[in-house]
Structures are given as structure tokens and as C-alpha cells.
Amino acid sequence: MVRMTESTAAPGTPSTGATTPAPQTAPETSPRDQALADRGSNRSQRPSSPAFRRFIAERWADRPAGTPAPLPSAPYAAARRARISELFPGERLVLPAGPLKTRSNDTDYRFRPHSAFAHLTGLGTDQEPDAVLVLHPTDDGGHEAVLYFRPLAGRDTEEFFADARYGEFWVGARPTLEDLAALTGVTTAALSELADALAKDVGEGGVRVRVVPGADDAVAAQVDEARSGTASAEESAAADAELAEALSELRLVKDEHEVEQMRAAVAATVAGFARIVRHLPRAVEHRRGERVIESSFDGHAREEGNAVGYETIAASGDHATTLHWTRNDGEVRTGDLVLVDAGVEVDSLYTADITRTLPVDGTFTDVQRRIYEAVLDAADAAFAVAVPGSRFRDVHAAAMEVIAARLAEWGLLPGTVEESLAPEGQFHRRWMVHGTSHHLGIDVHDCAQARRETYLDAVLEPGMVFTIEPGLYFKADDLAVPEEYRGIGVRIEDDVLVTADGNENLSAALPRRPDEIESWMAGLLGR
């Protein structure tokens, strides 16, 4: 981590300025009088003399001329804004990108904009902290979109060299107002204008304002101040929740650009799984073999996309029976299965979500194959009903019928298949407590604020993208199963696009049948 230090010349070095800066003197206060917020300066030792300020602002080359080409996502984002506009005529809609979040003291996590903001602006990667998209109502019943953000600061400002969070010397140059307008096709304005813009025409009988809840507390506070006295806190919260709901449901059916981005994310993820297999021998040799797998995939995701779409699960042996095992600090042993649940998030922020359960040494044992094939049969049954006209809940129900039947065949259920499938039974769920599917897109669990009737009870239609991911998990201390099953966890997860005449397995390029997996692994390992 770079640390700013006060510039001093070595003895005998000629001065580069017209005058020599006066030495910095300590403030005439007790150390206890220094405010906590100011104590970061104890390490930064920021130069502040007038001579330095003049010198650092001089002799910089002109910035490149011209404006960037529009983002490929720009026309699709405009269409999404239009659909939201139709739902809230005459209202002001506020969608923050979100602030930077502190990781440790004065260092931040890598920024990722709020998904609703990204969806309606087309911006991805780390664009643009603190920005706010506002849809202002117009007289014709529509909206004018304005993107408020912190534009590029001049080289004659203190921010340029001294602001470790936003300064160009520290984090690179931000876009100008003109740059972001050209990229997005949205009118832009400085963030300093936001407060007045939010409050315009708000009051008794005036414009109603809604803000995406949980996206940016500081912006939410500005909105609350603007609409103070116009509605109760409960009414405002309900209005904001309706906006979040609508923005979430907007993503239930993907447009052409979104499907293209999903394909790119899946392709990158498939390549990442191949990289994992090549690294398995090293994982076996390492005391933290699971982290060898994790780092192999995560490095690939960073190289080929924006990052991973969620924390990678690299679970070997009994760890595979912990559904969200992300500690990834265990050994990877020959003879075990390793469950890897991972997805590359591409620069547009769309992510894949794929799971494969692989034999560490490249070959399934008879027991491992038996369990694996039961899960595969459940997945195939789910695929068969993941077609237009079915309901989303039918996908899970089809998988559960197979899971219950296999467990009954193995003598593990305390009753019949029918008794287990009944709502008052559900004995088979001991070994698969999660659902079979979830919507997928710009969030790994996309559309999460959608209503039950538009999600779980919805009729499937072309353009929907979701996972199919049944599993069986037999914990090492589970005395309800034969000893040979204990410590085995299997999940198979694919990403599915509903089409006009059925569905497409977007992740079909990654082998999923036992013989295919063994052959694929042998080829990658040179056997």
C-alpha cells in the first residue's frame, strides 16, 4: 500500500521551484485534541505548501480528445427505463449506485454498483461509486433520466493528488460528464446538484419520490428529507418497496443483450472448470487443496471477466455436504469427490452459476456413481418440465419426485414415496433441504424481490434464465444412511434458458454425465 510522504530534497539538490517551501510545523495543540477523523493524516504527511500546489498543477499533457462510443447495453437500458417509467407516471424514481464500502480502516472493497442501477444504466464493472440515476417526471407522463455522479476533478484541485478515495493520482481518472453521457445516452449532472433535484416540486400535492431501499443510506436520507411531511415513514417505506419489487420483476424475462451476456459468463465459467481439473494434482499435494481450486477459478474469473459472481464453493469430501462451504481450507484427497460451485461475472455484471461434482482422481467409485446418477436423473426430470406453460414450482417438484423415489429404493425413507412427497411428510428433504432452481442474471439469485405470483407461481415464458441444481448430501455423522454413503455430497447445477419450444442448457458444454466427466478429466490430465 503506497503511503504519501512529504517531498524533501536531498542535500545539495537544487530547488525546482522559484521558492523553497517553508518546513511544516506541528500544530500547537495537544495530541489528544486531534479529532479521530483527522488522524489519518498522521501517516499520510500530505504536502500542502502553495509552491507544491502550483507545481503539481503544471505541465500536464492535454487529455485525449473526443468522446467514447455508446455502450452496447445503452439501447437496452433505455428500453428498461421506459418500462419502469410506465409503471410510475408522475413520480420521481431514485436509483443509487451505492457508496464505496470500507474493508479495513481506510481501504475499500472493490466497488460493484447496485444491480438495479446497473440494469437501468448499462454500466458495469466498478462504475460509478456514489452515482445516482434519477427518473424525473415530465409533463407528458413519462420521465427524463439524469445521471448524477462525481465527475473528473481538475488537476488544479486538491482532490487530484490528495484524495486517496477519489483522487486521480490514487484511483485513476474518472469520466467527465460528457464521457458518461456518451456512454449511456443519459443526461448527466454533477452529484452536487442532486439534493436540489430530489426536492424539486415535492410537497403537499406535489411530486412523489421513491428510492431503492438499502442501496445508499446517504441518498435515502436526502430523499427522506425531501419528502418530509408528505407521507408517513410507513407509507414511504411501502412505496420504496414497490419500486424495488418492480425493478426486480423487470429482470424476470431477459432481453437479447442479457442473454448474450449470460452466454459469455457461462462460456468463461466452463473454461474455468477446465482450469480447475488441470490444477487438481497440485490441490491434492497442498495442505489447503480446496484453496488451490478456489484460487484457480477465481484467478481465471478476474482475468476473463470482472470477478466471480459469488464466493466460490470448493468442497472436498464431507465439506461437500455443507451447502455454502466457502471457507475452502480443507485437504483434497484422492478417492473423494470435490463439489465446485462457481461462476464468472463478466464486465456487465451478469454471472453464471454452475456446479459440478468431480472425482478427485478422475474416476467415480460405484457408490459415488450411484448417488451421482440419482441426482442426474432428478436434474433431467427438472429439465423435462422447464418449458413454456409449466410453472416455476413444477421444476422443483419434478426433481423431488426422483429424489424421493431413489431414497425409497435405497431404504432410507421412513414411509412410502407418496407419504414423503406429501406436504406433511417431506422426509426426503433431509438430504436436500434447498430448492432446485432460482432465477439468474445480474445477481446470482436474481429477481429476489419479485412477488410470489411472478416468481414461484409464475408460468414459464421464453427469456427466463434460471438454474436447475438438485443434490444429495449425506453428512459424515448421519446415522440414518449406510456408512458407505456418509461424507458424500453431490450437486449438479446448470444454467437454463427457456425458449419458445422448450429450453436450452446454456452450460451444456461442461460434461455432466459420469462417463463423459471421466473422459473429459482424463483428457485434461493427459491420461
- Mean pLDDT to the nearest integer, 287-316: 98
Quote the pLDDT of residue 412: 98
Q: Is 473 labeled as catalytic in the residue annotation?
A: yes
Pick the closest to residue 188 from 230, 131, 143, 113 (CA basis): 131
Q: Is the per-residue pLDDT at 204 higher than 80?
A: no
Q: Is 257 labeled as catalytic in the residue annotation?
A: no
Q: Could you tell me the CA-to-CA distances from 472 to 142, 323, 427 in Å, in that order?
A: 50, 10, 13
Q: Is 469 labeled as catalytic in the residue annotation?
A: yes
Quote the pLDDT of residue 19: 35
- Mean pLDDT to the nearest integer, 25-45: 70
Q: Is 341 labeled as catalytic in the residue annotation?
A: yes
Q: Is the per-residue pLDDT at 13 higher than 50?
A: no
- Mean pLDDT to the nearest integer, 282-291: 98
CA atoms of 394 and 384, how far apart (whole Å): 10
Pick the closest to residue 434 from 324, 310, 318 (CA basis): 324
Q: Is the per-residue pLDDT at 36 higher than 90?
A: no
Q: Is 380 labeled as catalytic in the residue annotation?
A: no
Q: Is the per-residue pLDDT at 114 higher than 90?
A: yes
For the chain, percent of residues with pLDDT exceeding 90: 88
CA atoms of 526 and 274, how far apart (whole Å): 13
Catalytic residue among 210, 251, 300, 491: 491
Quote the pLDDT of residue 30: 63
- If pLDDT is split at 50, 70 and 90, which confidence band does 9 have? very low
Q: Is 428 labeled as catalytic in the residue annotation?
A: no
- Mean pLDDT to the nearest integer, 1-14: 38
Residue 8's Cβ-count burial label (10 Å; 0-12, 13-18, 19+) is exposed
- 4 versus 198: the higher-pLDDT residue is 198
Q: Is the per-residue pLDDT at 328 higher than 80?
A: yes
CA atoms of 457 and 393, how far apart (whole Å): 6
Catalytic residue among 91, 290, 469, 495: 469
Q: Is the per-residue pLDDT at 26 higher than 80?
A: no
Q: Is 255 labeled as catalytic in the residue annotation?
A: no
Q: Is 168 labeled as catalytic in the residue annotation?
A: no
Q: Could you tell me the CA-to-CA distances from 4 to 1, 23, 166, 172 in Å, in that order?
A: 10, 17, 15, 16
- Is the Cα torsion angle 114, 119, 120, 123 positive or negative in sign? positive
Q: Is the per-residue pLDDT at 453 higher than 50?
A: yes
Quote the pLDDT of residue 39: 80
Quote the pLDDT of residue 61: 96
Quote the pLDDT of residue 29: 53
Quote the pLDDT of residue 23: 41
Catalytic residue among 341, 443, 494, 495: 341
DSSP string, 357-418: EEETTS---HHHHHHHHHHHHHHHHHHHH-STTSBHHHHHHHHHHHHHHHHHHTT-SSS-HH
Helix (H, G, I), strand (E, B) or coil at 355: strand
Q: Is the per-residue pLDDT at 2 higher than 50?
A: no
Quote the pLDDT of residue 33: 84
CA atoms of 386 and 465, how far apart (whole Å): 10
Element (H, E) at 283: helix 256-285
Instruction: Give the HSE-up count for residue 328: Cα atoms under 13 Å, Cβ half-sphere.
Output: 22
C-beta separation of 431 from 472 below 8 A: yes
CA atoms of 310 and 326, how far apart (whole Å): 10
Q: Is the per-residue pLDDT at 6 higher than 70?
A: no
Backbone angles phi, psi at 467, to 5 degrees: -95, 155
Cell of 99: 457508496
- Mean pLDDT to the nearest integer, 266-272: 98
Catalytic residue among 350, 372, 473, 485: 473
For the chain, percent of residues with pLDDT exceeding 70: 94
Q: What is the pLDDT of residues 351-385, one digit of tens each?
A: 999 999 999 999 999 999 999 999 999 999 999 99
Q: Is 493 labeled as catalytic in the residue annotation?
A: yes
Quote the pLDDT of residue 11: 34
C-beta separation of 77 from 95 below 8 A: no
Mean pLDDT of the chain: 93
Diameter of the chain by CA atoms? 93
C-beta separation of 304 from 271 below 8 A: yes
Catalytic residue among 275, 286, 434, 486: 434
Quote the pLDDT of residue 32: 73
Catalytic residue among 130, 353, 494, 495: 353
Q: Is 434 labeled as catalytic in the residue annotation?
A: yes
Catalytic residue among 54, 63, 282, 324: 324
Q: What is the pLDDT of residues 237-267, one digit of tens each?
A: 999 999 999 999 999 999 999 999 999 999 9
Q: Is 201 labeled as catalytic in the residue annotation?
A: no
- If pLDDT is split at 50, 70 and 90, which confidence band does 205 have? confident
- Mean pLDDT to the nearest integer, 105-115: 95
- If pLDDT is split at 50, 70 and 90, which confidence band does 31 have? low
Q: Is the per-residue pLDDT at 167 higher than 50?
A: yes
